[in-house]
Structure 1
């Protein structure tokens, strides 16, 4: 058994409730594994900061239903307790999906909440705790709870967490309204003025930028010790692995000796799926983490580079001032070093970043384009078809990824990597991605490699072509 934390809509406090549970469990020295529904990078950072264990993303668009079951089984069985944080509202998903993914459907052969929290709860056969924002509710809370309880009989609502309760009188009204439903109230969180996680243009501010985070986690743990019905919650959280043939473990090393890969990881670059990093290591890579913000050069003796997403625009001045690092990256790429750059990484490889104030900051200068910040948000799942053989995939290969950024490029590539379309309606989104030089894969599309192990295999294959250190 494990538990899914779901919301009746976005913004009701799922992440706060999840972190409060995790913080209180860790204070009790409990070993807990967390998961996050969807493609998000930042919420998992907070999970990991609290638990000390990498949070795993559960996303059937980026991977598959089978992969989700394998991933959950593998990682939950290594902990005492397991907790899944949902995405958006419980039933908010997408209604259109490729027919070749072997999906579980309802009696009518349709799934209108694909990739939703409810979809994952059904897939893993887990009970759900529904978080309700009660700040502007009293008697109507019962209608909301009843609707979610009865909407899909396959979903077991184990209980409710009432968030943003204003007073004892308010709580009494809520409890009186909910009593006929016989839904357990598993937690009550009062309105909190001293617990706020700052955010900005792409969501929460990442953990590495919050010097007061530990104090915040302590306050959450204090809250969790008193606001939850632990006698009811602990048995629900107890981890029991799903029976599964764990294909995730069946990865043969690609080489008989470690292949060193420089992975940019600091405040500017920190959007990585842990499964991607794990796969590289399982295939024979030795990951060497470095900082384009702080380090004067890339690590020695590496055969490839990996730049994840993040917030290079926030740290554009510091990145620009580290001239030696920028020059080292450009020189290595021009000398043929295989390099993967996603979103923020792509921006770093461009000629310059133009920030929200219109200031220009020079970057590595590998790609003949500039990244311009704007108020427009590009967001959504993508179906991407490779237009040519490139560093990661062969021509005509289809991959599924996710875009989430507020920048655009001043020039588009003459020989793009992908033709992209929206995942849910096949609307053509145009061509994108840079593959020149040929040893570069730079794209706005974030990829999860769990269901496509050929991608890291191909990357390491190209890295092995680089002359070994010392030659």
Structure 2
């Protein structure tokens, strides 16, 4: 296939309904046997889980601040080769990104990097003619961002829809359709965003309801026909390689936040990734040389994690033996002494000699660039990697002598020391690193596991 139909579902702001629209479009096309490749703008983990389930294909993040333009295009090209269409969900408002002064990291930025048209979702609740002014403002703000059409969401009645149709005719921007208010089919939210796909029991019925909502109010055939063909760069099939080491990856109800590209880069570097559950498994997978414990919601599974004393002890012993262990955010919390929540203390692995305590509001949010201040198995001193941080817990009781291996810079230019190290080869931080911002990190991780395996064999 030399071309593909595709577009970005963008919004005027967070909460306008773009995720519901995106999931409805994916589910509606998928049940027509259209192979839809999903993507998500930005650093989010929760929406991609829903995209994967709705479309039936793994979703991949496309972040214009963490990743270069070439890397964005490579990821896009890699995963659209055998698809019929692609749908990218935007992040926040169309022009919201790393800075208020330019569009880096925004949905508009990604649209221009990939030459993808934008369908703008507008929350038209309590608006009439003003909706046209809003649309015109978005279309004129950056003429290089191609807004191919508008979907009005939360439309109150057929009369309201008619007023909106008349108003938008003044702008010359095509109206894709009007979606009636259906709050009952929205995906539930909680403190980090939507409830994850792994934590909902009635996903199929939810996605089916969203697909019905889309099909009853939008003309899918007309939408797809109106979209331009997006040329694809030809790619050679990747030759599978024989793994040279095994890395255990925590994957269950508590730990599910991984960039798909991180996992691919580890496999490409020579790792066989072995999933295991810190909740259910009593022993670590056989023959592994390293551990990758990603983020998630360990606080929601704190009781079950605490009850599994055998695996907590096994992980602590694995770390103490010097195996490479990398943990981020929720995984980092799991490696601490305890998670404190609602005045209860839940013991964890005890590798890092401090605790995490859940708070009522978020403690950190935003992009981060880290630079290693000491040699680690992920990179030598001076190595830089980009990532993102978002959590509601805070650290308690950090001893002065604990080793830190990151210098962290936020968009405000404030540098901090982080990246806690223990037992020579265990590294943990609240920051989710995107390995594709520096693929050498994945190779270094795998090579460290291989090297440790050799020392064990001596």
TM-score by length of 1: 0.91
Q: Does 1:81 align with 2:71?
A: no
How much does 1:277 deviate? 0.7
> How large is the Cα RMSD of the aligned pairs?
2.0
SS in 2 for 1:22: helix
**Structure 1 residues 456 and 251 mapped into 2: Cα distance closer, same or farther (>3 Å)?**
farther
1:419 maps to what in 2?
407
Q: Does 1:390 align with 2:376?
A: yes
Contact 2:40 2:61 in 1 (8 A): yes
Instruction: Give distance in 2, aligned partners of 1:252 and 1:437.
Output: 34
1:119 maps to what in 2?
109
Contact 2:18 2:121 in 1 (8 A): yes
- Which piece of structure 1 moves more, 162-171 or 443-452? 443-452
Instruction: Give distance in 2, aligned partners of 1:193 and 1:272.
Output: 29
2:357 maps to what in 1?
372
Any stretches of 5+ residues in structure 2 without a counterpart? none
SS in 2 for 1:461: helix
> Which of 269, 283, 304 is the equivalent residue of 1:283?
269
Instruction: Give distance in 2, aligned partners of 1:243 and 1:283.
Output: 24
SS in 1 for 2:376: coil
> Which of 132, 137, 157 is the equivalent residue of 2:127?
137
How much does 1:182 deviate? 2.6
Contact 1:15 1:43 in 2 (8 A): yes
Q: Does 1:12 align with 2:2?
A: no
> Which of 71, 75, 83 is the equivalent residue of 2:75?
71
> Which of 188, 204, 223 is the equivalent residue of 1:198?
188
**Structure 1 residues 19 and 164 mapped into 2: Cα distance closer, same or farther (>3 Å)?**
same
After superposition, residues 30-49 of structure 1 pair within 5 angstroms as 30-49=34-53
Instruction: Give distance in 2, aligned partners of 1:264 and 1:433.
Output: 20
Contact 2:30 2:56 in 1 (8 A): no
SS in 2 for 1:176: helix
Instruction: Give distance in 1, aligned partners of 2:235 and 2:440.
Output: 20
SS in 1 for 2:19: helix
1:101 maps to what in 2?
none
Deviations 1:308-351 (A, max 9, x none): 00000111011000111111111111112211101111100000
Contact 2:282 2:311 in 1 (8 A): yes
Contact 2:116 2:230 in 1 (8 A): no
**Structure 1 residues 326 and 71 mapped into 2: Cα distance closer, same or farther (>3 Å)?**
same
Q: Does 1:362 align with 2:362?
A: no
Instruction: Give distance in 2, aligned partners of 1:238 and 1:289.
Output: 40
1:178 maps to what in 2?
168
> Which of 49, 54, 57 is the equivalent residue of 1:53?
57
Instruction: Give distance in 2, aligned partners of 1:240 and 1:384.
Output: 35
How much does 1:455 deviate? 0.7
How much does 1:250 deviate? 8.1
**Count of matched residue positions in the alignment of Structure 1 and Structure 2:** 450
Instruction: Give distance in 1, aligned partners of 2:336 and 2:105.
Output: 33
1:102 maps to what in 2?
none
SS in 2 for 1:370: strand
SS in 1 for 2:448: helix
Q: Does 1:166 align with 2:191?
A: no
SS in 2 for 1:465: helix
Instruction: Give distance in 1, aligned partners of 2:113 and 2:453.
Output: 46
Instruction: Give distance in 2, aligned partners of 1:326 and 1:446.
Output: 22
Deviations 1:238-270 (A, max 9, x none): 763443789xx88996xx544111100001000
Deviations 1:136-184 (A, max 9, x none): 2111011001111222111121111110000011111111111122322
- Which piece of structure 1 moves more, 409-418 or 456-465? 409-418
Instruction: Give distance in 1, aligned partners of 2:65 and 2:138.
Output: 24
Contact 2:11 2:94 in 1 (8 A): yes
Instruction: Give distance in 2, aligned partners of 1:258 and 1:141.
Output: 57
TM-score by length of 2: 0.94
Any stretches of 5+ residues in structure 1 without a counterpart? 97-110
Deviations 1:174-215 (A, max 9, x none): 111111223222122101143021111111111111001111
1:311 maps to what in 2?
297
Contact 1:74 1:241 in 2 (8 A): no
